Amino acid sequence: MAIHRFRALEEVMTRTPVKVELPSDKVSDFFGRHVFGQDAMRKYLSEEGFGSVMNAINSGTKIDRKMAEQVANGMKAWAMSMGATHYTHWFQPLTGTTAEKHDAFFTPYDNGRAMETFGGGQLVQQEPDASSFPSGGIRNTFEARGYTAWDPTSPAFLIGSTLCIPTIFVSYTGESLDFKTPLLKALSALDGAATEVCQYFDKNITKVTATLGWEQEYFLVDTALYNARPDLQMCGRTLFGHPPAKGQQLEDHYFGSIPERATAFMRDFEQESWLLGIPVKTRHNEVAPNQFECAPVFEECNLAVDHNQLLMDVMEKVARSHNFRVLLHEKPYSGVNGSGKHNNWSMSTNTGKNLLSPGKTPKTNLQFLTFFINTIKAVHDNADLLRASIASASNDHRLGANEAPPAIVSIFIGSQLTEILEDLEKRVKSGKMTPDEKTALKLDIGKIPDILLDNTDRNRTSPFAFTGNKFEFRAVGSSANCAGAMTVLNAIMADQLLIFKKDVDKLMESGVEKDEALFQVLVDYIKKSKRILFEGNGYSDEWKNEAKKRGLNNFNTTPAALDAYVKKEALALFERLHIMTHREQEARHAIYLENYTKKIQIESRVMADLAMNQIIPTAIKYQKILVDNVSGLKNILDTKDYTKVAGPQLEIIMEISSHVGTIKDHVDTMIEERKAANVIEDHKKQAVAYCEKVKAHFDEIRYHVDKLELVIDDENWPLPKYRELLFTK
Ligand code: ADP
Ligand code: MG
């Protein structure tokens, strides 16, 4: 039996904040204590071992077996000194969560004795029993199982008494089965391509690293209320619920003081994060009630992705001990602001330079302009691919719905940069620029970032915005693994930079001087990609029309958006960069479609169950009270009085019957549609059927259930209401 909402509410009323004590007032005293990072490695590894791990991190060199043995021993000694008893390979399968399989360090041997063992073999490679992870058909039973392999670029860490080793997850035939493998390949492709382009400006640049700083939005809800909402439990979002009288229209939650219980939770999960070396730094309330955000200092992209996955795990774990549940879903409440995960992205060099930050000299400014315009071109040419990278059943509720950001990919760069690009185009068109003109132009660029870094000049409605020294990809979903978006973004940038290098070299070979060649190619790119630049209100209907005129796509469902992944151009791009083969890409496409279908299928089942088992029975019980009342009145009153007195009750009785009837009709048809969809074999067709035929009933069912919520006696309504979920502290 589901817990009735009153019992849940009673429980919430008795809550007090959990006391949280930090190990020290100074975070630097304990930051990274649970990580086998550089300090621990220095202590537990030989100089040689330390050097080989650092080389693997910095230049991607392989660690040989002998060295791996040594590293494993050091890692084990460190972990055991911290109380670890088990170890696990930690990986990111395409289900969207993280996976682990724990093994004990101890190995029994003869005479009933045991010994703690953990060698190079166990560190480098493992075979998880992975047959239940999605593989899109790649890892069928004949090919046996996949294996996980150590990723030395992300340090091992401790969770409780388990040593966690970040790994990739691939099939025996070498195909990637996770988020991390293609990401690492995309990052390496970007490094190669960007470093070559940097050579035009600075010969000292030998490595380019993509950087990522994510901003994680989430909702908190009390565990008792959560447990009384089967839809939250099963789907992570509410399928029913009438909007409260007071929503977020007053916007008094944003930047208001954080409620005490939530603060205690934040202190606790931040402490856990710091121990794990996750540099979380800011926390604040978000727009909606009970919505919050946390953001770290940016890091190298692969590490940042791992840290975000880890943070989501840590949040969920810590929340439970504070009697909260974290809702990472993009749209837990209809009519209330949704959650995203802004991905702030840039590139930095081994010389310590941010490539998207204009500097003080003409040379660095031309370098900035090069990377800036190439990003615009990459996004323009691959907008559909970028859209595909953020597609999911849950993110569909934000993208393309009447909320930010739209499903149309566009770029905001601010008025100053717009002017500079226009100016550049004009000057190059009107003939060769004088050296003085070039210098003046390059210097102008140096003035931009200050203005853009100032928050007030930013456009919040853009899905992809330049914010002074980085691009901010805002359309990523709050529950997503950042790796999906980051793989595509870094891949398309790598590809674009290779094209750029070729274009510039060609001009230089024909005798054009370097600066002039750079300018000419950049101006050509501006012309070709400027239709993707948009400075106005991205939420408006005018933009939808305008975008259509410009020929920009607007895919507002996942099955449609995912097509871009298997278009000829995309397959070729991933292949030439050695990020993914056609087979891997197609398998991934199938998995994403299947994930979509499953999500909608679950929602549809929960919706039907709730409607039939909770809502309609409650409606009928209340209707019976009214019916009894009416027939009682009929017994004691004369006809004239009776008609007068029983009128309102009769109206409600009829209204209830009408809603119940419509709900039942839609539930029945929806179930029929589900049956039909379930037997479709083609992944794409099945996902489309779920999207267009099954999901099509959600709004109607919800509408009538929410209407019933308004007429039925509050005492009887079983599900915690929106005002209780959002405002109970
Ligand atoms: P906001 O966008 O809310 O104004 P900030 O400008 O401080 O906030 O930055 C937001 C996020 O951008 C932070 O997570 C920060 O670490 C990240 N960030 C800043 N610089 C870079 C960079 N060069 N590369 C990647 N992320 C960055
Ligand atoms: Mg931001």
Average pLDDT of the residues of the chain: 90
Q: Is 187-580 assigned to CATH 3.30.590.10?
A: yes
**Ligand 1 mean position, distance from CA 212 (Å):** 8
What's residue 120's pLDDT? 84
Q: Which of 216, 470, 482, 489 to mutate to test the pocket of ligand 1 (most atoms within 8 A of CB)?
A: 470
Residue 141 banded pLDDT, cuts 50, 70, 90? very low
Cα of 216 from ligand 1 centre, angstroms: 12
Helices (H), 89-248: 120-124, 180-198, 223-227, 230-235
Percent of the chain at pLDDT > 70 equals 91
Cα(693)–Cα(674) distance, integer angstroms: 8
Give per-residue pLDDT as tens, 6-19: 999 999 888 988 88
Structure pTM? 0.94
Long-range contacts, 680-684 (Cβ 8 Å, 24+):
683/589, 683/590, 683/593, 683/594, 683/597, 684/559, 684/563, 684/593
Tens digit of each residue's pLDDT (9 = 90 or more) over 122-134: 888 877 665 667 7
Which atom of ligand 1 lies at the shortest distance from residue 344's CA? Answer: 26
249 has a pLDDT exceeding 60 = no
Instruction: Please list the residue range(s) of the chain that carry CATH number 1.20.120.1560.
Output: 595-725
Residues with CB under 6 A from ligand 1: 211-213, 215, 295-298, 344-346, 354, 455, 467, 469-470
pLDDT tens, residue by residue, 695-708:
999 999 999 999 99
Least confident stretch, 79-88, 105-114, 251-260, 503-512: 251-260
- Choosing from 254, 298, 307, 476 the residue with most ligand 1 atoms within 8 A of its CB, the one to mutate for a pocket test is 298
Pick the CATH number of 31-178 from 3.10.310.10, 3.50.50.60, 3.30.710.10, 3.10.20.70: 3.10.20.70
- Residue 34 predicted with pLDDT over 90: yes
Residue 280 is predicted with a pLDDT of 94
pLDDT at position 425 is: 85
pLDDT on residue 448: 59
Tens of pLDDT, residue by residue over 177-189, are: 899 999 999 999 9
pLDDT tens-digit series, residues 596-613: 999 999 999 999 999 999
Å from CA of 461 to ligand 2 middle: 12
31 pLDDT more than 90: yes
What would the pLDDT profile of 389-431 be if each residue is shown by its tens digit? Answer: 999 999 999 986 666 677 999 999 988 888 888 888 887 776 6
Residue 645: C-alpha distances to residues 148, 472, 614, 636 (Å): 73, 62, 30, 11
Nearest ligand to the CA of 470 is 1
Ligand 1 atom, smallest distance to 345 CA: 25
HSE, side-chain direction, 13 A CA sphere, residue 642: 11
CB 615 within 8 A of CB 663: yes
Atom 7 in ligand 1: residue holding the nearest Cα: 297
DSSP state of 481: -
Closest CA to 71 of 102, 44, 91, 40: 44
Q: What is the 28 CA–ligand 2 centroid distance (Å)?
A: 25
Ligand 1 pocket test: pick from 187, 344, 346, 450 the residue with the most ligand atoms within 8 Å of its Cβ. 344
pLDDT at 319 over 60: yes
**Least confident span in 77-81, 145-149, 545-549, 629-633:** 145-149
Query: Among 58-67, 144-153, 266-275, which range has the highest average pLDDT?
Result: 266-275
Among the bound ligands, name the one nearest to the CA of residue 457: 1
Euclidean distance between CA atoms 54 and 60, whole angstroms: 9
Atom of ligand 1 nearest to the CA of 214: 14
Atom of ligand 1 nearest to the CA of 295: 14
Closest-lying ligand to the alpha carbon of 455? Answer: 1
Nearest-ligand number for the alpha carbon of 474: 2
Q: What is the location of CATH 3.30.590.10 in the chain? A: 187-580
Residue 99 has a pLDDT of: 82
Phi, psi (degrees; rounded to nearest 5) at 298: -65, 160
pLDDT in tens, 613-666: 999 999 999 999 999 999 999 999 988 888 889 999 999 999 999 999 999 999
pLDDT band of 525, cuts 50, 70, 90: very high
In the chain, where does the domain assigned CATH 3.10.20.70 lie?
Answer: 31-178
- pLDDT score of 359: 75
Whether residue 342 is predicted with pLDDT greater than 80 in this model: the reply is yes
- Identify which ligand lies nearest to the alpha carbon of 353: 1
Nearest C-alpha to atom 23 of ligand 1 is from which residue? 346
Residue 139, pLDDT score: 56
Q: Do 319 and 326 contact (CB within 8 A), yes or no? A: yes
Q: Which ligand is nearest to the CA of 473?
A: 2
- In sequence order, the β-bridge partners of residue 101 are 89
Average pLDDT of the residues in 144-151: 79
d(CA 298, ligand 1 centre) in Å:
6
pLDDT tens track for 350-371: 999 999 998 777 677 889 999 9
Q: Which of 236-250, 310-324, 449-463, 626-640 shows the lowest per-residue confidence on average (mean pLDDT)?
A: 449-463
Whether 101 contacts 551, CB under 8 Å: no
CA distances to 105, 156, 277, 279 from 123, rounded to whole Å, are 12, 10, 21, 26
Structural domain 595-725, CATH architecture: Up-down Bundle (1.20)
What sign has the CA pseudo-torsion 332, 334, 339, 340? positive
CA 316–ligand 2 middle distance (angstroms): 23
Torsion from C-alpha of 314, 319, 322, 327, nearest 10 degrees: 170
**Ligand 1 atom, smallest distance to 455 CA:** 4
Structure-block tokens of residue 84: 């670890």
Whether 98 shows a pLDDT value over 60: the answer reads yes
Per-residue pLDDT at 142: 45
Question: Does pLDDT of 54 surpass 90?
Answer: yes
SS3 content of the chain, % helix, strand, coil (to 5): 55, 15, 35
Distance 342 CA to ligand 2 centre (A): 6
| Side chain identity at residue 614, one-letter code | Q
Better-predicted residue by pLDDT, 506 or 433: 506
The alpha carbon of 210 and the centre of ligand 1 are apart by a number of angstroms equal to: 13
- Cα-to-centroid distance, 508 and ligand 2 (Å): 39
Supply the pLDDT for residue 710: 95
Averaged pLDDT for residues 223-237: 96
400 to 191, 317, 706: CA distances (angstroms)? 33, 32, 23
